[in-house]
A and B are shown apart, each in its own frame.
Chain A
Amino acid sequence: MKKIIELKNFNIGFYENTFYTISGSNNSGKTTLIRTLKHINNFSQAVIPFELRVSKNTILEELTYQNNDQEFINYLLKGLKIKSISKESINNLSKKEIILVQITLALSKRPKVLLLDSIGNYLKYEELKSIFKFLRDYQSKYALTVVTTTIHLEESLLTDYLYIIDDGMIILEGEPLEVLQKDNIINKAGLEVPFMIDLSVKLKDYDLISNIELDQDRMVDILWK
């Protein structure tokens, strides 16, 4: 029988109040890992897009049912910008709104760990950035470790630490900007290095620049000023 997924000799740790990315190609074991983490830690909540069970008619009723601290619920609704749809039924929402509601519901349970499974696949990059910005604000008020998975490595630049898994094993880990410079290993794992890092690494190889530059205007100035 064909082996679908296997996580091998897995040793992975997450510090308190830290923002992690786990990246890997399709079928590398990201969702399996998220489901595993959800089950081994009682204090975690997982957001797996569109896997959602609700018992109340509206989003606000469901949130109040989970947590009756109105001030906290208002903070979540405002921070995730879903106040205007809070009286809607979950059935009337767009994909983006469902994901925002899933995150709100997960946070309403005051978890210590929030697991996000490839939510960037359903959002524009700017929308994801706005969610991550709110989660940073949340982290500054309440202790929360965030673990997000993705195939889009540029998302890791918004986080503190990056794990890259391939064939069920961790092949790279560290601060995102450091890890993303290992272009050969990343490409071999079937992933794409973000454009400005790819450009920087290759220009460094030709001794045309000395540091990684993420800003296009500054890169142009460094090369031609």
Chain B
Amino acid sequence: MEIKKNKLVFNIKDSGINGIITDDRKEIINLLSAEDKVSIIGEDFQYNYFDNTVYEYMTGEVERKNLILRDKAKKIKDSLRIVGLNKIDIDRNVTTLSESEKKLLQIAIALLSNPDILVFEEPFTKLDLKNQKKLMIFLGKIKEKFNKTAVFITNDSNVLYKYTDYVIIIQNKKLIMEGTRRVLEDVDALIKNNIKVPEIVEFTYKAKKKYNVKIDYHNDIRDIIKDIYKHV
């Protein structure tokens, strides 16, 4: 999908996970949400005073978002089931949900409008490693089963280098870099644009630059250890 506004043009790849680094998150979210079939999953879970249970929260969101659903109750239950929240969770008070469960509930709500693209604002800041992995497995499944695309908007380059396939960097309303996650290995360009270099890339870059060590860039620490062992 091509996103275009004035001189800014970038692509969301419908295969795999996209990552966007930007200095104007609000503007990019506005641009994406103006497209058809896009749902935004915000960084924070917004409580609503009047909705006590998970089910009430979901029906409340359907009304607040003016969603027109045929067989609302079934759709809500199906959506909860897809994200892995089960029958017991439907009657739970939303204030008792853990951070990961709140994220799943946000996704369940996003899925109600049957979007093609799920846009996550800072998806991992509140998730531990176990739940990050669970979310990635879930996104892999809905990609395979329902052909959904995910977009992560975050300035955490470590997360993008670890989990995404395609990276887009936008600064001052201009596209700076776009390509596979390997664009995050262009350390000089990242530094020039004041973008944090992923730690694992930075280490490899320093070894290459200072001692001309022939190790490759990897996004898994176990692979880099094997490479160091061969070249030390």
Contact = CB atoms under 8 A, between A and B. Distances in A.
Interface of A: 2, 4, 25-27, 118, 121-122, 151, 187, 190-192, 195-196, 198-199, 202-203, 206, 208, 216-217, 219-221, 223-225
A202 B228 CA distance: 11
Given A203-B225, A220-B206, A190 B232 contact: no
A198 B98 contact: no
B172 to A, nearest CB: 20
A216 B213 contact: no
Interface residues of B, number: 32
B128 interface: yes
A219 to B, nearest CB: 7
Interface string B179-204: 00000000000000000000110110
A27 B225 contact: no
A195 B221 contact: yes
Interface SS majority for chain A: helix
A116 to B, nearest CB: 15
Nearest to B127: A26
28 contacts: A4-B96, A26-B100, A26-B126, A26-B127, A26-B131, A27-B100, A121-B125, A151-B126, A151-B127, A190-B128, A190-B131, A191-B128, A195-B199, A195-B203, A195-B221, A199-B203, A199-B224, A203-B228, A206-B229, A208-B228, A216-B202, A217-B206, A220-B207, A220-B210, A223-B228, A224-B207, A224-B213, A224-B232
A132 B202 CA distance: 26
Given A199-B203, A223-B228, A223-B232, A151 B221 contact: no
Contact of B225 (A2, A26, A199): A199
